Structure 1
Amino acid sequence: MIETPAASLQLIDGDQQFANDLERYMRQEWNLWDCGYDYNVVAVLGSQSTGKSTLLNALFNTHFEMMDKMSRKQTTKGIWMSRSKGENLLVMDVEGTDGRERGEDQDFERKSALFSLVTSSVLIMNLWENMVGLYNGANMGLLRIVLEVNLKLFQTTKKDKTLLLFVIRDHTGDTPLENLSQTLKADLGKIWDGIPKPDNMKSKKITDFFDFAFTALPHKMLAKADFEEGVQKLRSWFYNKNDANYVFKVPYNKCVPAV
């Protein structure tokens, strides 16, 4: 059992260069070198400065660098990876979208989305409640990229489903989670319908490629106790195989060997 947060590795840096010491981390830092397919991967996607790293640290006992509240500048550059406490689970903290550092350059967004889809069983979509219903704020542009990349990937290789887990942050409770979920599903449906598809894919539905799950967390600072309680419940989705919402089901595992 890992009793302290595992070391983090910048797997892909801000210039899109792959780390050359992954083997050492898999062998020495994370002890996953000999586990074969017996592990899972989860990645978090979302806008810059929305608390993605904070969420991962709370859920998985990682220690990814978090945003400096005074400067509100980019902290996660590229893709960082760490191992979750007590589980054969690798966690990826992906550079946020909508950052001023990259501006309108979407090249890294497309590549990071592709990498996340190929390797991850679960993609956490992190967004604020007050952004649900908006296009940019709710990361609909990023989700369109995810859907487009997935469609192209599916044409060239056999691919299992991916779970998109939407974590709605700073939820006040005024709008029920079910209503927020329906809004997001409707927006996803519109995006899917608008994506050009080859003839052999035109009859496919978005649910042929993705499953969806939705949860909400209260404000971390203004409702600290409720936030921590919500994190505990959500953590069970990843750790407790008897939980009805357990996320690591067989159809989601990408079967990428650890070595």
Structure 2
Amino acid sequence: MRVLRALVRRKLALFGLVIIIVVVTAAGLAPWITPYPPDRQMFDGLTLEGAPLPPNAQFWLGTDLLGRDLLSRLIEGARTSLIIGVAANGAAVLIGTLVGVTAGFFGGWIGAILMRATDLMMAFPALLLAIVLAALFTPSLWIVALVIAMVNWVQVARVIYTETRSLSERDFIEAEWGIGAGRARILFRHMIPHLVSTMVVWGTLGIATTVLLEATLSYLGVGVQPPTPSWGNIIFENQTYFTSAPWLVFFPGIAIILLALSFNLVGDALRDILDPTQKGRH
């Protein structure tokens, strides 16, 4: 509750939190609130010449090239983006935390091998690596989530490793070793609780990166495949009609930007609240 009250007092964080709540609510209620089935091709959704309709009283955000309601597809696409964002980033945080804590706590040759493997992964451009991995598998929602997790865990591992090494040198940890405390007690009673705030911050900030990466992969045609709507593949399907039907690209683009910005604003505020020593350093 203390964290929530602190978030609410920050205007930008509150704005981001409201956007996230709206998107999550819309995604969760998508089967009941979408005006039309997202994949329904409607005859009255096209002009007599077969062109998509601009925003109007019947179709609030207009229709696409097949006469489908764009608002319905955006709401359904929010589910895809959030599922991938939460699942992929959750997996990335767990993998990164496991690698970082293991390397930082045990050190020695175990830490050296894990950190060199992390450095090797960081040497590859994340987007290029994700494209290669996505191209090797049959793209689907869960495959895309897995691919994104495989390229995003390295930053978390590096941060957690640094935090763990710093904690290992603190006086209270040295005191625990001095009284004969076991590794399990030190790790789970003292190390992990001090890392939770870092995990929460990176979990929040990472969702923004994940949403953008999913949209990029879908835009490039190696992400979530039609007919499953995602904000990225909606742009991909309609990009060639940007000049004649700009709403087909504008609205999903705004949705991606707003959601990514909102998670960044909330994550940035959480970093200040949970770790006041970082305030003003970013």
Structure possessing the higher radius of gyration over alpha carbons: 2
- Greater helix proportion: 2
Q: TM-score, normalised by structure 2?
A: 0.26
Larger RCO of the pair (alpha carbons < 8 Å, separation 6+): 2
Q: TM-score, normalised by structure 1?
A: 0.28
